């Protein structure tokens, strides 16, 4: 049996973490799967319960601040110590194929090339960096990969790569469905699922909730998610600006109860290469209001499967909530099209099949040509 090693930058259970878990599930049908993580966390338990082996290999993660002089020096210093352990892991497990999940682990991609292991990089980011030099540096390690998978056409447009393909994320719906309310009563229940961050637009949703209250529409916003290390100042600002009609519920592994208890799902991301939460909201039968940005434009068909608003514009978001609540019959009818569309385009079965095919193609790479 061939051995596939999956490298991933975190051990949590957010969007890209869940897709890593699904990639492992798919590949376990045909391969021995080893997953390299930089630390322990809930993802470890989930992987091991599926039959994957987990190896903790501390490896530095590439961030934007890593491209600044001091950050780059720190990254290279810690990276120099990590290369040998990475190559040792590849050799100890006799890895036949390396699957690097996200571009922020460039050292794994380079270690795969150094060890002569066929390497695939699965890109979940859509980084639009204006500085061409910084942009080139950020994506340069992809050149070490033999194959690249992008999670949306938006992600694929960030860099031109040979041997690349687009595989949309696969999202499984809830085990049971809760019908949306036939008629609205106060308060209108809004939900935002995702990290508390500027990128996810948490502040936009909180501000929109206040604007709606000022207009006399009684709403309650529940924010489902937590922050991340280094983002504490932003979280404090958002929490301090929130009114009594906003609840911060923290991170929940299972989002379905949160979506089921809501009337409308908000996805106000400023940047979003794909947008699992938008698909999850569609599968839960909830009207979706999402930012007209990047991957969300590939998920939500404005006016048919949801509404799109200007990224970062709280007033536009509030207007969209008013539009849905003003014609709730049309809003609920839209959820039928959304559910059908999400089920057809973003099924887990399709995702599993395409990931298995991508790795199968990788194992057939002629390295004399690839070099």
Residues 6+ apart with CB under 8 A from 366: none
CA angle 140, 144, 147 (to 5 degrees): 110
Cross-strand pairs, 221: 190, 246
| 84, containing H or E segment | helix 69-92
Q: Which CATH number fits domain 188-345: 3.10.20.30, 3.30.420.40, 3.60.15.10, 3.40.50.2000?
A: 3.40.50.2000
pLDDT by residue for the chain (371 residues), tens only, comes to 999 999 999 999 877 898 999 999 999 999 999 999 999 999 999 999 999 999 999 988 776 665 666 766 676 667 666 788 999 999 999 999 999 998 888 899 999 999 999 999 999 876 555 556 666 766 778 888 999 999 999 888 877 777 899 999 999 899 888 889 989 989 999 999 999 999 999 999 999 999 999 999 999 999 999 988 778 899 999 999 999 999 999 988 788 999 999 999 999 999 898 899 999 999 999 999 999 998 999 999 999 999 999 999 999 999 999 999 999 999 999 999 999 999 999 999 999 999 999 999 999 854 333 33
**Cα 358 to Cα 235: distance, rounded to the nearest angstrom:** 39
149-172 burial by CB neighbour count: b if 16+ within 10 A, else e?
bbbbebbbebbebeebebbbbbbe
Find, among 84, 166, 77, the residue nearest to 122 by Cα.
166
Say which DSSP state 371 is in.
-
* Model confidence, pTM: 0.84
Domain boundaries, the chain: 3-170+348-370, 188-345
The verdict on domain 3-170+348-370 having CATH code 3.40.50.2000 is yes
Tokens 């609540």 locate to 325
Sign of CA dihedral 294, 128, 12, 153: positive
């Amino acid at each position: 049996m061939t051995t596939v090693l999956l490298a991933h930058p975190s051990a949590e259970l957010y969007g890209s973490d869940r897709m890593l878990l699904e990639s492992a599930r798919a590949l376990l049908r045909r391969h021995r799967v080893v997953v390299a993580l930089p630390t322990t966390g809930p993802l470890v338990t989930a992987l091991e319960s599926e039959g994957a082996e987990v190896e903790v290999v501390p490896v530095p993660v590439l961030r934007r601040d890593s491209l600044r002089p001091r950050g780059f020096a720190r990254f290279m210093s810690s990276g120099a110590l990590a290369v040998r352990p990475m190559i040792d892991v590849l050799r100890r497990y006799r890895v036949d194929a390396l699957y690097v999940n996200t571009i922020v682990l460039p050292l794994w991609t380079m270690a795969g090339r150094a060890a002569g292991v066929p390497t695939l990089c699965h890109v979940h980011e859509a980084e639009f960096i204006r500085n061409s030099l910084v942009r080139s540096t950020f994506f340069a390690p992809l050149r070490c990969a033999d194959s690249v998978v992008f999670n949306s056409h938006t992600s694929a447009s960030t860099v031109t790569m040979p041997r690349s393909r687009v595989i949309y994320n696969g999202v499984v719906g809830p085990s049971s469905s809760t019908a949306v309310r036939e008629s609205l009563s106060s308060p209108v229940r809004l939900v935002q699922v995702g990290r508390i961050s500027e990128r996810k637009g948490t502040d936009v949703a909180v501000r929109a909730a206040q604007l709606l209250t000022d207009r006399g529409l009684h709403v309650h916003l529940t924010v489902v998610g937590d922050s991340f290390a280094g983002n504490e100042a932003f979280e404090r600002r958002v929490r301090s600006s929130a009114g009594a009609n906003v609840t911060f519920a923290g991170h929940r592994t299972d989002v379905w109860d949160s979506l089921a208890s809501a009337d409308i799902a908000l996805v106000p991301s400023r940047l979003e290469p794909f947008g699992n939460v938008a698909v999850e909201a569609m599968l839960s039968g909830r009207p979706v209001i999402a930012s007209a940005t990047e991957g969300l434009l590939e998920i939500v068909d404005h006016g048919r499967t949801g509404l799109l608003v200007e990224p970062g514009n709280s007033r536009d978001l509030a207007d969209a909530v008013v539009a849905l609540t003003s014609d709730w019959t049309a809003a609920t009818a839209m959820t039928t099209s959304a559910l059908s569309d999400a089920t057809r385009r973003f099924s887990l079965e399709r995702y599993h099949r395409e990931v298995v095919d991508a790795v199968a193609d990788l194992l057939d790479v002629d390295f004399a040509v690839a070099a």
